[in-house]
C-alpha cells in the first residue's frame, strides 16, 4: 500500500467518476443537519477542510455564509473553483496539506466531512488538524467530523464489487488489515479487460469512544452525535456514519 495513496487517487479523473453517487443531495442533508444543530448567523465564517470538489463548500455559500475551503488536490479544487464561478460565488479556495495548515483567520465553524480523516499512518498526523482546528476556532465555535462507524464497517464490509463507468470496468477489493480498511481500485478497459490504472485507499480505524475521548482531551465539548445525515441517533452497531459535533 502506497503511503501517500491520496495524492494519486484524488488527482485522477477517475475519482470523480467512481464517487459520482455522492451527489449534492447528500451534501445538502449534512449541511442542513449541521446548521440545524448549532448556532450560526448569516455571514458566519466557515472553513471546509479537505473540501474536494466543493459539494459542501458550495452549499454553505448558498446559505449565505462566508466560506473558505482547502484541499491537497489541485484537480478537485479546480472543479470547485469552476462551480463557484458558474454560480457567481466569491472564491476562497486554496491548496494545502491538512497537516500543515497555517491561517490567521478565526472561524465560527470548521468541518471535516466525507471521511476526510484517518488517511495517515500515525495518530499524531491523523489528529493534527483537529488540534489545529481548536486553535482556529473562535470562542464557542464548532468543529464537525463526519467519519464512518468502524463497528458497522467491519461487520458489513463488502470484499468485492464491480461496476461499469463509461467504457471502463471498475473493480474494488476491500480488506481490513493492520487496523485499517484498505481498498484497491482497478480500472479496466471494458472491451479488452486490460488494466488501465490502479489506485488505493487506506483509512485508519478508530472506535467511536476512542475518537470522542481523544477529541475531548483537546478541550472540545461534545454537543451532538449522529448516525446518519438525517440526524438519527448514533447506534454503535447499526449506524453507518459517525457524525460528531463539538464546540470549543
Domain boundaries along the sequence of the chain: 5-149+207-247, 153-203
pLDDT band at 80 (very low <50, low <70, confident <90, very high): very high
Phi, psi torsion values for 74, nearest 5 degrees: -70, -30
The number of angstroms, rounded, from the C-alpha of 90 to the middle of its chain's C-alpha atoms is 22
Question: Which CATH class, in words, describes the domain spanning 5-149+207-247?
Answer: alpha beta
Instruction: Give pTM, 2 decimals.
Output: 0.94
Q: Which residues, listed in sequence order, are joined to residue 189 by a DSSP beta bridge?
A: 168
- Beta strands 45-49 and 107-112: pairing type? parallel
**Sheet strand arrangement including 45-49:** 93-95, 66-71, 45-49, 107-112, 137-148, 241-247, 221-226
Question: Residue 2 above 80 pLDDT?
Answer: no
Q: Secondary structure of the chain: what % helix, strand, coil (to 5)? A: 30, 35, 35
Question: Residue 116 above 70 pLDDT?
Answer: yes
| CA angle (105 as vertex; 61, 64 as ends), nearest 5 | 15
Cell of 239: 449506524
Mention every residue, 6+ apart, whose C-beta is less than 8 A from residue 76: 10, 15, 16, 51, 52, 53, 54
- Can you give the pLDDT at residue 73? 95
Question: Residue 20 above 80 pLDDT?
Answer: no
Amino acid at each position: 500500500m502506497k503511503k501517500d495513496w491520496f495524492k494519486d487517487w484524488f488527482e485522477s479523473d477517475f475519482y470523480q467518476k467512481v464517487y459520482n453517487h455522492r451527489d449534492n443531495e447528500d451534501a445538502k442533508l449534512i449541511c442542513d443537519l449541521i446548521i440545524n444543530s448549532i448556532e450560526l448567523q448569516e455571514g458566519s465564517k466557515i472553513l471546509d477542510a479537505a473540501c474536494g470538489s466543493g459539494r459542501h463548500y458550495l452549499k454553505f455559500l448558498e446559505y449565505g455564509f462566508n466560506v473558505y475551503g482547502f484541499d491537497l488536490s489541485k484537480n478537485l479544487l479546480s472543479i470547485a473553483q469552476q462551480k463557484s464561478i458558474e454560480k457567481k460565488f466569491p472564491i476562497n479556495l486554496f491548496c494545502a496539506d491538512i497537516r500543515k495548515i497555517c491561517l490567521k483567520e478565526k472561524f465560527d465553524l470548521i468541518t471535516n466531512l466525507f471521511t476526510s480523516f484517518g488517511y495517515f499512518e500515525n495518530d499524531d498526523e491523523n489528529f493534527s488538524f483537529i488540534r489545529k482546528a481548536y486553535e482556529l476556532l473562535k470562542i464557542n465555535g464548532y468543529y464537525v467530523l463526519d467519519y464512518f462507524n468502524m463497528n458497522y464497517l467491519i461487520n458489513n464490509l463488502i470484499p468485492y464489487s464491480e461496476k461499469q463507468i463509461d467504457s471502463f470496468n471498475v473493480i474494488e477489493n476491500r480488506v481490513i488489515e493492520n487496523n485499517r480498511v484498505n481498498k484497491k481500485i482497478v480500472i479496466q478497459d471494458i472491451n479488452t479487460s486490460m488494466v488501465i490504472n490502479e489506485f488505493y485507499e487506506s483509512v485508519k480505524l478508530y472506535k467511536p469512544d476512542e475518537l470522542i475521548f481523544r477529541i475531548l482531551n483537546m478541550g472540545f465539548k461534545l454537543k451532538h452525535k449522529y448516525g446518519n445525515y438525517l440526524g438519527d441517533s448514533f447506534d454503535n452497531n447499526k449506524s453507518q456514519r459517525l457524525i460528531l459535533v463539538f464546540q470549543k
